Chains A and B, each alone.
Chain A
Amino acid sequence: MDKNEIKEKLKSIISPYVPQKELLETITEETELMKDLKINSQHLVDIILDAEDVFDIEIDDDSAEKMLTVGAAIEIVEKLIHSK
């Protein structure tokens, strides 16, 4: 799975938790999940669980805490997929 594919999949994982859908249109790797996409902090947990299901990986607590931007999320998922 290449980076772009991961990015697209992550986007669809994140999408339900984004209250204003138009914010999804301008996503870059620097986009912050809470600040820019207005995702409620409570739902970061759910995004991590959904990502575990979709990519069939296990995200440990330390990695989970770092998943605050789209770029960080891609990087963590990519690493975990390749270390499988």
Chain B
Amino acid sequence: MNQRVVVTGIGVVSPNGVGVDSFTKGLKEGKSGIRFLKVLEELQFSCQIAGQPDLSELLISSYFNELELKSLQGSGLLYGAIAAKEAWSYAGLDKNIDTDWGSGCIFGSGHAAIDVIRDGIYKVDASQVKRIGSTLVQQTMESSISAFLAGYFGLGNRVSSNSSACSTGTESIILGAELIKSGQADRMLVGSCNSSGPYIWAGFDSMRVTTRKFNHDPEKGSRPLSASASGFVPGSGAAALVLESYKSARLRGAKILAEIKGFSINSGGQRNGGSMTAPNPLGIKRCIQNALQSAAIPSNHIDLISGHLTATMGDFGEVSAWGQALGLSKNQFPFIHSLKSMIGHCLAAAGSIESVAAIIQIQEQFIHPSVNCEDLDDRISDLIGKESIPQKSIDRELNCIAKASFGFGDVNSCIIFEKCKE
């Protein structure tokens, strides 16, 4: 029998707020986490603005000791570990003394420790292999973050890291949810992280998919859905969720934050207009429809869409794919917004940060604004009414959110989050 999957813990390290409280405040205020970064100017990037979580030494040392930090030198690893620790404790859980065979971890990343890779390569090239030390492998293997977390908490179910570009975060949640739904795990720590910095963002800068027009007005730079969108603003960070079977959550009296009603992962196969960098619109449509089907809900049940919406040419295609997938007319269209308008595109971390935002909004019954789209793209406002895109935070009854992410490689993922009912 299928188990119901619920969320009992969340943690977040976002450019506009570190920790659930600060992030929630940021969401309500429409606070931007985008800043001008001197280092990007010095390195002659076209886009010199980015979203980077603000972590003080004090905060870092309140989470991990000196020895643990030696293995968390990659910024993505550190973001992921802090988010996961917050989520685990939010769920009322402690580090296990013995291995907990019922709990596992699927935690994804794009690059969790690119600076560590760089340092290692520099040492190799200088014939200093011996000077590399013991933590290069554990920090630079693709499973670095899940390996760290499993050891930290003592997790004995499936432990792995997924990677599927900008779909990684949403995908990690689905991969964990599948294990709980099928009864293979009781509890899964899921989420994703992405490092900050020039080595991560350089490739996108060179592809000219980031904006170069807002270096002097960073907070205005990330403009999903806007007529003046001119490319995405790169970001970074992490978020984590504790997923649990409804039964397990009830048994231990955990507070249930939301239910995962349905989900879908697919690929457009890089056909029919899809490519390495652009989605096949049919793939997106099928992914959304499959998620609705797995949740067994009609499309008019959805109150809010948390879009992928990056502020590139893809926004219009995405909105029209949502319209087709849901089959709803302009006046029936649910609310839709993009968290990327405040924090930029956090790449592998995007889907998990946006999912944590969705859960917070279900908990607190509000819809965060999609900032910087006062000048809506005409093609988009032809498809959906202006009133569907909140410019300011709205307090509102909110039962169901559809969250989707799309990534390079033409990969898609979609989750239906619902307020948990008995």
Contacts and interface: CB of A to CB of B under 8 A. Distances in A.
Interface of A: 16-17, 19, 42-43, 45-46, 49
B208 interface: no
Contacts of B70: 16, 46
A23 to B, nearest CB: 13
A45 B131 CA distance: 9
A51 to B, nearest CB: 12
A16 B134 CA distance: 14
Nearest to A15: B66
Contact of B133 (A16, A19, A45): A45
Contacts of B133: 45-46, 49
A46 B66 contact: no
B67 interface: yes
Interface in B118-157: 130-131, 133-135
A43 B66 contact: no
Contacts of A17: 67
B interface residue count range (under 10 / 10 to 19 / 20 to 34 / 35 or more): under 10
Contact of B67 (A16, A45, A49): A16
Interface string B40-74: 00000000000000000000000000110010000
Interface of B: 66-67, 70, 130-131, 133-135
Contacts of B66: 16
A45 B66 CA distance: 17
Contacts of A19: 67
A46 B139 CA distance: 14
Nearest to B130: A49
B131 A46 contact: no
Contacts of A45: 133-134
Contacts of A46: 70, 133-135
9 contacts: A16-B70, A42-B134, A43-B67, A43-B134, A45-B133, A46-B133, A46-B134, A46-B135, A49-B130
Contacts of A16: 66-67, 70
Nearest to A45: B134
Given A46-B134, A49-B131, 5 more contacts: A17-B67, A19-B67, A43-B67, A45-B134, A49-B130
Contacts of A43: 67, 134
Nearest to A43: B134
A28 B33 CA distance: 52
A16 B131 CA distance: 18
Contacts of B67: 16-17, 19, 43
A42 B66 CA distance: 16
Closest 5 CB pairs of A and B: A45-B134, A16-B66, A42-B134, A46-B134, A46-B133
A32 to B, nearest CB: 18
A49 B70 CA distance: 13
Contacts of B135: 42, 46
Nearest to A18: B67
A63 B67 CA distance: 24
A46 to B, nearest CB: 5
A46 B131 CA distance: 9
Residue from the set B67, B70, B131 with the largest chain A CB neighbour count within 10 Å: B67
Nearest to A59: B130
A14 B66 CA distance: 12
Nearest to A17: B67
A84 B57 CA distance: 38
A25 B222 CA distance: 54
A16 B130 CA distance: 21
A24 B303 CA distance: 58
Contacts of B130: 49
A71 B134 CA distance: 23
